[in-house]
Structure formats: structure tokens, C-alpha cells
Amino acid sequence: MLLCSIKSVTDLPVIEYRGERVVTFAMVDKVHRRAGGTASRTFNENRNRFVEGQDYVSITSDEIRTMSLRTAFPDRTARGTLLTRRGYLKLVKPLTDDLSWEVQAEMVDRYFLVEKIAAATAGRRTSANPPTRP
């Protein structure tokens, strides 16, 4: 296992959109050690395979500013794209080198894991606290 890939995944800033962890193209390029713009280009080449609202979300500069996402995008970004876990997995599907396989596993196991934990905790909370009858 490449320790450097684990470190770069855990060093990623956590970005959430409507309670779901998301990543930017720049984050994907960084963690997969790709040249800047690679993830964006791959997305655009395969855009017909991505479903807006499920795989990615397009946000405006106003949303970037009001949702405190300024650190996720360069200054004066007019529009941004956020990839969900599903979108991330589709985006990296063409990457088949050893590093990409390891990084993808780490992203799913570490970065996106919080969603699973939150869902499991919510399920336990619901079953442990049944609704009271009036």
C-alpha cells in the first residue's frame, strides 16, 4: 500500500453540500496526482454519463460565497461543480493505474465513510427511540 496516497486523502478538506460529502475536480486531481484540469476534462468528455443532482451539482458564485466554499474554488469562480460519491466513482473509473485503485479505495473508506456512519447512527436512533403515542 502506498502510504502517501493515504496521507493525501486524509489531508483533503471536508466539503459538504446539503449534508452530503462532495469533492471538486481540483481535489480529485490532487489526490490522484494528476495534472490540473485532468478531472474536469474527463468529466466533460463523459458528461452524458453523469446525472445532475445525483452525480454532481453545479453551483453559482453566489452559492460558493454564501455556503462558505470559497476555499474550495479559485477566486472569482463564476460556476463550480461538486461531485458526489457516485460522481467521483464514475469520474475515476477510467483511471486504472495502481495508485488510482489505492486512492479510490481510500476515498471510499475514509472520505465518504462519514455518510455511512451518519446513516447508521440515524437508524439506531430511530429504532431506539420509537415514537410516543398521544
Residues near 92 by beta carbon (within 8 Å), at least 6 away in sequence: 28, 32, 100, 103, 104
Cβ atoms within 10 Å of 11's Cβ, excluding its own: 9
pLDDT digits (tens, 9 = 90+) for 3-25: 444 456 667 888 888 888 899 99
133 is a domain residue: no
pTM confidence score: 0.73
pLDDT tens digits, residue range 50-72? 999 999 999 999 988 888 777 78
Q: Is residue 47 part of a domain?
A: yes
Residue 52, CA distances (Å) to 14, 24, 30, 107 in order: 21, 14, 23, 21
Q: Is residue 52 part of a domain?
A: yes
C-beta separation of 27 from 87 below 8 A: no
79 located within any domain: yes
Domain that holds residue 10: 3-128
Q: Domain count of the chain?
A: 1
In a domain, 134, yes or no: no
118 occurs within a structural domain: yes
Q: Give, in degrees to the nearest 5, the angle at Cα 42 between 65 and 72.
A: 20
Q: Inform me whether the pLDDT recorded for 108 exceeds 90.
A: no
Separation of alpha carbons 32 and 1, rounded Å:
14
- The average pLDDT across 113-124 equals 63
The pLDDT of residue 127 is 45
